[in-house]
Amino acid sequence: MLLFGLTGSIATGKSTVSSILRDPPYNLPVIDADVLARKVVEPGTPGYAAIVSHFAPSTPDLLVPAAECGGREDGPGGLGRPLNRPALGRRVFGGGDATVKDRKVLNGIVHPAVRREIYKAMLRAYLRGNWAVVLDIPLLFESGWERLCGTVLVVAVSEPEVQTRRLRERDPHLSEEDARNRVMSQVDVREKAEHALRRGPGAGVVVWNDGDKEDLKKEVERVMKEVQARSPKWWAWLLLVCPPLAGVTALMSFLKMWRIQRQWEQEKKRE
């Protein structure tokens, strides 16, 4: 089974590409890390408890007001009021050492829980006999998931201003400064595109999303032809019926991508 890593940066169109891959003619199962990230911090989960314990003392508006939860202080179902995501976002996005530290704390809570859910979903897709599965992970490179992926697809735009404009159109409550801070808090998507292409033909592809949705569909079609030429369905079925071959292939791919990742990191340190 081909692990297809889909990534990008905020407001580059990654979710739209994910929807395109989920629908015909591709019909690929999509494991959405953003959806799982929400799931693992719902009231009643260990992730929710950890976030409230760390952030609530210094963030009075961390939770949705009781008035929006039917007047209940303990929230719907008695498990607690949901997180006020805009308030938490203001706390962890932006400049300054304190903001960076808070973002690391949040990631340290959310990422391990999401990782466990991803492994479960990957196993289900493998057992169902899917030739490929899409791992929709915004922090694919930062979290190290790209080493496990046979192919990495980066959805990118040519200028950060495009991201800021699209983000404000999607989330009107954000000010210009808030939107810009969220864009600048992430690794430059053009750097991610360069990183993906370093993996080689078919193993790293880039979808440029500077146009409309029809242009985007054509870009997806172009890169999927490249990917399918490198990893045909008959090869996926062979790996499915021969687990030892699948294990050896996965190990070789991991070692190759680990080497490429190390070279990339060393180059960035020298720069």
> Whole-model pTM?
0.77
Helices (H) and strands (E) in the chain, counts: 12, 5
Q: Could you give the percent of the chain with pLDDT greater than 90?
A: 46
User: What residues contact 157, with CB distance under 8 A and at least 6 apart?
Assistant: 12, 13, 163, 189, 208, 209, 210
164 pLDDT tier (thresholds 50, 70, 90): very high
pLDDT digits (tens, 9 = 90+) for 6-39: 999 999 999 999 999 999 999 999 999 889 999 9
**C-alpha pair distances (Å), 167 with each of 20, 75, 141:** 20, 30, 22
pLDDT digits (tens, 9 = 90+) for 167-183: 999 999 889 998 998 89
pLDDT digits (tens, 9 = 90+) for 142-161: 888 888 898 999 999 999 99
Token pair belonging to 185: 């808090």
Task: Please name the fold of domain 1-29+131-271.
Answer: Rossmann fold (3.40.50)
94 pLDDT tier (thresholds 50, 70, 90): low
**C-alpha pair distances (Å), 65 with each of 37, 71, 81, 175:** 22, 8, 8, 22
Residue 229 CA to residue 233 CA, distance in Å, equals 9
Q: What are phi and psi of 27, to 5 degrees?
A: 55, 45
The whole-number pLDDT of residue 260 equals 80
Residue 75 CA to residue 63 CA, distance in Å, equals 10
Residue limits of CATH 3.40.50.300 in the chain: 1-29+131-271
The whole-number pLDDT of residue 136 equals 94
